[in-house]
Amino acid sequence: MTENLSIKKCVAYCLAQRFDIAALSKIISESKQVRIIKGALLVEDHETLSVIFAYGAVVHWNIDPEQQARLHRLLLEHADNPLDIVEEDNFTYALNCSTTRIIEDHIEIESSDPILLFSLSQGMAQSIKLAFFETHALRTITNTNYIPESLAQDGRIKLNRQEIAKIRGQLFLTKSDIILNYDLLDIPDFFWEYPEYEPFYSVAAKYLEITQRIEVLSKKLETIHELFEMLADEQKHRHSSALEWIIIWLIAFEIGMTIFEKVV
């Protein structure tokens, strides 16, 4: 990459739940220079760089929209669970600055070193994946808001057992999907081997408030868990109530049969 002071564009996307990095590496390497670093692909082409992460995120440095669209089509052909609504974050950047920092979505970068850009990309990719988790959790909470409201107003949830079971399943999937991928939001293993690059990752992670947002996401997960438990209790209550009525009717039937036998 050629160092210069011109303003360029950087865009981060979350496109899917996962990418098949091995397959993508094989295909893309036929036409472009590709490096695999800790499960991520660095695709370099003259003054451009795309960093593709296995967890469905990609960060583009100086890639025009047409090139982005072509690469996205390829990525989605080798993706699990493409997103209906794509998460996106836009920045501008300049190279050959005195230090590396981010101010109002503009990134000043001291070097065109691809590993430095990769380090910044790690924080940006985590942020855009976190945005997907935040949207997913918020949508789930919003769509189930009527449940505690119904319970507060009427003392019961106006859903049949099948509907309750279905919503419990959706809540469980949302919670488990986020928890199973929670480790993606830790400091990447790459920096254990290259600690000299961690400060650049920290610049992005701090600016994008990853730590604070993870804490908020944890509270949203607690809300989802409480809804899940609420529905579980309602299901248990309805099941026990149904059993009680069955027992009552069986006893009534037995009493009725005994009376009938004595009368006859």
Residue 53 and residue 41: Cα distance in Å, rounded?
7
Percent of the chain surpassing pLDDT 70: 86
Strands 106-108, 79-94: parallel, antiparallel or unpaired by DSSP? Answer: parallel
> Average pLDDT over the chain, rounded to whole?
85
pLDDT at position 159, please?
A: 67
2 to each of 47, 109, 121, 133, how far by Cα in Å? Answer: 6, 13, 19, 36
Name which of 11-15, 73-77, 111-115, 147-151 the model is least confident about: 147-151
The closest of 15, 35, 29, 30 to 117, measured between CA atoms, is: 35
Provide the residue type at 10 as one letter: C
pLDDT at position 232, please?
A: 66
Using 50, 70 and 90 to split pLDDT, how confident is the model at 1?
very low
The mean pLDDT of 62-76, rounded to a whole number, is 96
SS (H, E, C) the chain: CCCCCCCEEEEEEEEEEEECHHHHHHHHCCCCEEEEECCEEEEEECCEEEEECCCCEEEEECCCHHHHHHHHHHHHHCEEEEEEEEEEEEEEEECCCCCCEEECCEEECCCCCHHHHHHHHHHHHHHHHHHHHHHHHHHHHHHCCHHHHHHHHHCCCCCCHHHHHHHHHHHHHHHHHHHHCHHHHCCCCHHHHCHHHHHHHHHHHHHCCHHHHHHHHHHHHHHHHHHHHHHHHHHHHHHHHHHHHHHHHHHHHHHHHHHHHHHC
Percent of the chain surpassing pLDDT 90: 52
pLDDT over 60 at 34, yes or no:
yes
- More confident of the two residues 263 and 215: 215
With tokens 């669970």, the residue in question is 81
pLDDT at position 244, please?
A: 62
- More confident of the two residues 215 and 180: 215
pLDDT at position 239, please?
A: 56
pLDDT over 80 at 109, yes or no:
yes
| Domains recognised in the chain with CATH numbers | 8-124 (3.30.310.10), 133-235 (no CATH)
pLDDT over 70 at 106, yes or no:
yes
pLDDT at position 242, please?
A: 60
- More confident of the two residues 81 and 253: 81
Residue 103 and residue 97: Cα distance in Å, rounded?
13
pLDDT in tens, 116-168: 999 999 999 999 999 999 988 888 888 877 777 776 777 666 666 677 777 77
Using 50, 70 and 90 to split pLDDT, how confident is the model at 214?
confident
CB atoms within 10 A of CB 151: 15
The mean pLDDT of 198-207, rounded to a whole number, is 96
Residue 34 and residue 114: Cα distance in Å, rounded?
12
The mean pLDDT of 51-64, rounded to a whole number, is 96
pLDDT over 70 at 241, yes or no:
no
156 to each of 142, 212, 240, how far by Cα in Å? Answer: 19, 36, 15
- More confident of the two residues 125 and 264: 125
- Altogether, the residues listed in the chain come to a count of 264
The closest of 236, 142, 221 to 179, measured between CA atoms, is: 221
Global pTM value: 0.79
With tokens 């254990």, the residue in question is 192
